Structure 1
Amino acid sequence: MGNDNSNPKALFRLIGLATVIVFLIINNEKFTSHNHPNNRRTSVDMGNGNCKWTPPKYEGFEDIKFFKTVIAGFPSGDKRLTFVQLEALTENPTKDEWDFKHLGMSNHPFIKANYPHHEGIWGWEDAGDQVIMVVRNIKRAMVEYHDILWDIGYAKTWEEAFALVPNLYRERPPLEDFLAWRDERVFDEIDWYGWFIDYYMEGGLMRDMFTKKITTSEHWNMLMVPTAYTLEQLQYDVVVGADTHVEPSYDPNCALITNGCAPIKVISAERLAELDRGPAVGLELAAAVDGKEGMNVIAPEARNCIWRELIINKKGLKTFIDRDGYGEDDYSFTKGHLEKMVKELDRLIQKYSNVPWTTNSNAQVLVDLFQEHRGLILEDLAEGRFRRIMKRKSSLTPDRFRELE
């Protein structure tokens, strides 16, 4: 399963910790927006393609009937970059899956979700109507995933994490901190990355993340609470059986979304942030909600201006593009990590290039993205831009990984 050197104790300690982190981050997002010095009700169309960005409104929408959008993605800061665009385009706010679970249901029209990744939870019950899936380059996704963990000092309690809220998205970690986490987690997370893509593209078809085999409801329910089991107990051959024929079945949660779990749009987080391709991606986001019930999208001629305000002029919440310090490419991987990333991308490209996906527009977008991402990783391999795996300790809190050694 994944990396042969995986440490089950370390895996579940880190997964359990991540639950606290995800819940914390969205509350910080809400806190930041409420206390923004330029807080207004809605972005303003100034005419002639000009606009004035303002944060979304957080009150006064309780009785509006919305067609609601789930913004789903592997944990990597991609959803935040996406929902700030949607908020600015529509004046409507976003709420995290964990907020729905722990703070109660509400009428937020945008729902940020890591589910079914172990960072996520289906907390929004039947509130969703459609899904937008956000995709990041697999290598860069791993870097930002760790960055968020580092921002709050790998806190073990809510109180510890909350004290470090101001650190979110401010800077990048020391290289040695990333390398310590990388050597422990990345082999397995590569499997979770591809499995996450398959889950949404196949409308919630239940699969095992490590073998990619179709699995049973019993096994799926175990996978959704991985901290309750050891890696050995979760193995497909142990729970299902190597030669067992399993009829395809779907996560029943997907029946709670009006249009199902299959995304109506696949968005590239990297392209959204690019100067040349970003404005077009921003327009795709606007089109995905334009005309939907309760959505008052800013006029078409002002939509590119909203993108400029957020991406170029840095208005609104901080995102992964605002971090100071190292660039994402400064955080390197071992040759084995890169080769496994290429192997997983090859699997995804092969799958979504063939029947029954050849006429699916989202599959075509994915293949284009994955081919681009694969090419970048192959360049790293060809140029020798990788490291040798070794035991490491993090720099700022050496005992942070003590139990992993």
Structure 2
Amino acid sequence: MEQTWRWFGPDDAVGLHHIVQAGATGVVTALHQIPYGEVWTPEAIATRKAIVEDPAHGLRWSVVESLPIHERVKLGDGDLSTIFDNYRTSMRNLAAAGVNVICYNFMPILDWTRTQLDAPLPGGGTALRFNHHEYVAFDLHMLKRPGADEGVPPEVLTQAAVWFQASTEGDRDRLLANIMAGLPGAYDRYDIPQLREMLRRYDDISRDDLRANYARFLEEVIPTAEECGIRMCVHPDDPPRALFGLDRIVSTEDDIAFILNAVPSRANGLTLCSGSLGANPANDVPGIAARFADRVHFAHLRNVAKDPDGSFMEAEHLGGDTDMVKLIRVLMAEERRRRAEGRADWQIPMRPDHGHALIDDAARPTFPGYPIIGRLRGLAELRGVMAAVDQIEGA
């Protein structure tokens, strides 16, 4: 697999020279400065590509993460022709620049969601964590969403009430900021009234409506992807569950089957995120990878450890609930199959995702979940697994 590294652009505290030192050869980046729904111009793409692919680094821009979908598309809100036209134009501009893999997601309002960004680890270091009781405290006592207690176990409701009663204003502000932290490239950050208003816009949007709006998006853009050689790959929901009363529709094996069958094209593919899918106890991540292997265009390799109450924490890359060795074997077997077919695009880009903050990572102002040393450790571990699999099973 092609070893890549996520880079948030020139303002990222992680520099391209760090990526070279980590041993990655591909860069995963996006033009976060461009508002959602606007065109990524050839000039803007060329400027970023020139920085990434400076010969001094020996890197290439391997994957766009993400070319975001405007919220109006998810809502099916009004005349979307300009938004779709702009998206297709951005796709063509990226393809013309030689960037052919586009990762995106279809999560309403929020991206990945955690309640704690610095959960302590044994021996030092910190990890991202989703504490179910803190999420419920936010939803029920801060957001005050009607129905927020439905289906929540009584013991979690009790924990949530205890947390809220003991919390300070600073604790509540920090929880809101943590929940918003999964939007590193978004322009919108919501306070409580703004989030309530955004959620209100989804009041009449059912799960079937959301699926229909997604299918419409695919019907609008996949023909363009086929035309210009783009591989689109949807990122699963993180976490893979409804949040704040919003349905999420990229959470299970059945969801993925619906999406890939909605427009049956190789250009309509999947970002296999082992951590996102792995946070749902019902998901067999290596099994999902095997079923949809021919449509996996990108992989986020990370692990989570789940708790019985619905909480989970980012684990070591090889140490969580997902059998990472088994998953890598599936992906590398698919690469061998593609190469045997003579495909030029046989290689699956992968990146280590959501590393622990280790040693002096805390001293750097990196985006939550994207420290240098923690990801370096993860990449080294994954690289070792790939080398062993290749030695034993490779052609």
Output the TM-score relative to the length of structure 2: 0.28
Output the TM-score relative to the length of structure 1: 0.28
- Give the structure with the larger helix fraction: 1
Higher relative contact order (CA 8 A, sep 6+): 1
- Give the structure with the larger strand fraction: 2
